[in-house]
Structure formats: C-alpha cells, structure tokens
Amino acid sequence: MAAPHLRPVDVVPVPDPDAQAPHPAPARRERILHVFRAPVGGLFRHVLDVARLQIAAGHEVGFFCDASTGGERAAAVLADLTPRLALGLTRVPMRRNPHPRDLAAVAGLYRLMGRTAPTVLHGHGSKGGLFARIAVAPRGVADPVRAYTPHGGSFNYRPGSALHQVYMAAEAALSRRTDVFLFESEYIAGRYRAFVGETDRLVRIVPNGIDASEFAPIDRAPDPFDLVYIGELRDAKGVPVLFEALARLRHAFDRRLTLLVVGSGPDEAALKARADRLGLSGAIRFEPPQAIRSALCRGRVMVVPSFAESLPYVVLEAAAAAQPLVATTVGGIPEIFGPAAGALVPPRDVEALALAVMRKLDQPETERQGEAAGLSAFIRTRFSMQRMADGVLAGYAAAHAQRAGALPVPGAPAPSRR
C-alpha cells in the first residue's frame, strides 16, 4: 500500500487551565458514541473526562464497551454516569485480542447505531478503534465521523514481533476508515508514522489533561512507605525490575526500603512469588486499586518503572500533586517531564533504577519537594482537562468540515485559480 503524504500535526493552543468560564452553546450539537473495550485504567479515565465535559457542553453522549471487565468499581462509575448518557450505556462481551466473537460485538454496535443515529463514532484503544471504524451505518442513518485515539494499545507491542506486524497492517488498512486521528501524545503519533506510515487523514495531537483540583497538595500520611507503585500488575509495567532494584539496594547498599504496591492485574500472583524469592515479602505490601491520592500520601517517592506507556494519567496526576517521582524514559513520559526529562532512567535497567531511587530518597527534603513543585508547575501550563475536551471537539468539527468540502483534503493539490 502506497503511503500517502503526512501533513504536519496540529497542537491545540493551551488556554488557562484554571479558567472556569461557562460553556457557550455548541455551534453543532453532536451525538457521540465512545467505543472502547475495557472500562479500566487511563483509557477509561480519558473517556469519562471527555464525555462529562462533552455533556456539559450540550452534546449527547453514549458508551459502547465490554461487559466482562472493570469489576464493581467500573460498574459503580458507569451506573452513576448512565442517567446523563443520552445515547445510553451498552455493554457486550469483548475479547482483548482478535476473536470470532468480535463479529457479534460489531453487530451489536450496528444495531445501536440504528437506534441512536450518532454523528460521531469515537474509538479508543485498539479494539475500540477497530469496532468504531469497521461498523457500517444502517440504512437511513448518515455515516458518522470516525475518530480514533490509540491510547498506546497495539503500538506498545514489540516492533518486529508477529503480533506487532499484524496490528500495524490492520492499522494501515483501517486508516481509510478514519476521518480524524486524535493522538494523545507526540510519542504515539511518532509510532504511527514509524510503523504504519504516513496518512492523508486529519491528525490532531490532543494531550491527556487533568483538572485544576488535582493540583491540590497532598497531606502526607504518618510513617509513610519509602516508595509507592500504582498501576497494573503485569510485567510490561516493569514491576519485576522494581523488585530487582529493591533487592539490589538491600544487598549491595544495606538499604532496607519499604514499598507499597497498589493495583491488580494478570501477574499479581507471579509478582508476589517473585517478591518472596527475592526476600522482599516483609518489605512490600500489596493493596487493591484505590483512589490515587489516598495511595500517594502513603509513599515518600512514587516509582514508575514501565517498559511502555502512552501518556500515562498516573504520572500526570502524581506530578500535578507534587509527588516526588522516579520514572522511566518511555512513551510520552518525557513529554510530561519536559525540561526535567533528563532525570528519567532507561527501562529494564535494574542498576539505573536502583541508583535513581537512592538518589531521590537521599535528597534533602527541601530539594526533593522543590523539584516536585517545579514539575507540577510545568504540568499546570500544558495538560488541562478543558483543553483536552476542546481539542477533541475541534477534531470532530474539522472532520465534519472536511467532509462538507469546507477544508481541503490533506496532501491534495491546491485548486486552480483559473
């Protein structure tokens, strides 16, 4: 497949993140179906934040997602929001990887489109992006704008692996069914260019954003753990490397540090067994997922040892709250750290992570908190939740305008002046 021309990406201007001006009436009232698989993690938070602000701005919104993931916590959040979802909440079984039952999910989306007549289908993540782009509009329903936000997804597979090649081929094929790409980081946009190719579709980079209230300082709990990890319990998040670094600090430097691990995931049992083998069972406490600020206040330093990320909310939230951080230089994390990105450590490097943790803990308190406050100030100027929502709506509007001929097709020759 010939790779069409890639136009420069558009970055939405940053408004004042603390501005609380009322929403004007929308120029166009959209009917938006957000399509995604698992109601968990940063992807779910992104969808919730965008949807709530879209509803507040006068648009009609609905969700189409998996029925088997998320547990009680997701069910409670969705139940609370459902009365405000004009297009409803539809949950059907979805598998993480391609599966014959995907056909049943696509059929369910087709029927939902017939009932709701959306003007926008916004797919999130690999599976949501697949469904939102292959579903055809029923007879009598205008074809909606197809928007796609990857959130890492298929782009986080190891380049060159069989799965990565399959998914990149699928992304290339699906690009023709995409009106607008809404990349959440420069990193993922770059991964798209590198492994899928150039695109003649509309492209916007609309970074994840957080609310002004999330910059409130944290009240540190008495007798906190030295370190805290918050996230999924699986190898790709680098938790085994964190455990190895703790063991290294214990055996080589006699630093008997304590670690609070907050989260759940498919590798939880294996990680607990690994901690036992490393002699760390007495130094690590495992707790289930909980509100991030309740976990942050119980650790002096948060560690993010990931092997792959997009633009992780957990880092944005911790940095906004001025939580001292040690993180790896993967995905969009350098975009979050900005001028402080030089402090990030390489992924999978036990020695580098151990030394970075030790340096951070050994800093004078005023210096450590000063660095954290500086990063918080940087985040405040660049990662606004309202900016994110406005950027998403601007992407939809540009796609509508291009369909109507009000915008030129990217890469197309200029019209003749004769």
Q: What domains sit in the chain, N to C, each tagged with a CATH number? A: 10-14+28-209+384-403 (3.40.50.2000), 213-382 (3.40.50.2000)
Q: What is the pTM of this model?
A: 0.85
Q: Are 203 and 180 in contact (CB under 8 A)?
A: yes
pLDDT tens for 228-238 read 999 999 888 99
pLDDT higher than 70, residue 12: no
pLDDT for the residue numbered 265:
87
pLDDT for the residue numbered 153:
76
List all residues 6 or more positions away from 310 whose beta carbon is below 8 Å from its beta carbon: 42, 150, 151, 152, 155, 156, 184, 185, 187, 188, 331, 332
Question: What are the strands of the beta sheet with 284-287, ordered from one edge?
Answer: 284-287, 259-262, 225-230, 299-304, 325-327
Percent of the chain with pLDDT strictly greater than 90:
79
Please report which confidence band the pLDDT of residue 152 belongs to, taking 50, 70 and 90 as the band edges: confident
pLDDT tens for 26-61 read 678 999 999 999 998 889 999 999 999 999 999 999
When pLDDT is averaged across residues 9-19 and rounded to a whole number, the result is 38
pLDDT tens for 125-141 read 999 999 999 999 999 99
pLDDT tens for 186-234 read 999 999 999 999 999 999 999 999 999 999 989 999 999 999 999 999 8
Say which amino acid occupies 192.
Y
* Stronger pLDDT, 395 or 13, i.e. the higher one: 395
When pLDDT is averaged across residues 95-123 and rounded to a whole number, the result is 94
pLDDT for the residue numbered 7:
34
When pLDDT is averaged across residues 384-397 and rounded to a whole number, the result is 96
pLDDT higher than 80, residue 411: no
Residues shown for the chain: 418
Phi, psi of 83 (to 5 degrees): -60, -20
Cα–Cα distances in Å, from 16 out to 53, 55, 375, 380, 381?
16, 21, 17, 9, 8
pLDDT for the residue numbered 20:
43
Mean residue pLDDT of the chain comes to 90
pLDDT higher than 90, residue 120: yes
pLDDT for the residue numbered 83:
98
Q: Tell me which DSSP letter residue 304 carries.
A: E
Percent of the chain with pLDDT strictly greater than 70:
90
pLDDT for the residue numbered 18:
41
Nearest one of 153, 156, 131, 151 to 206, comparing CA atoms = 151
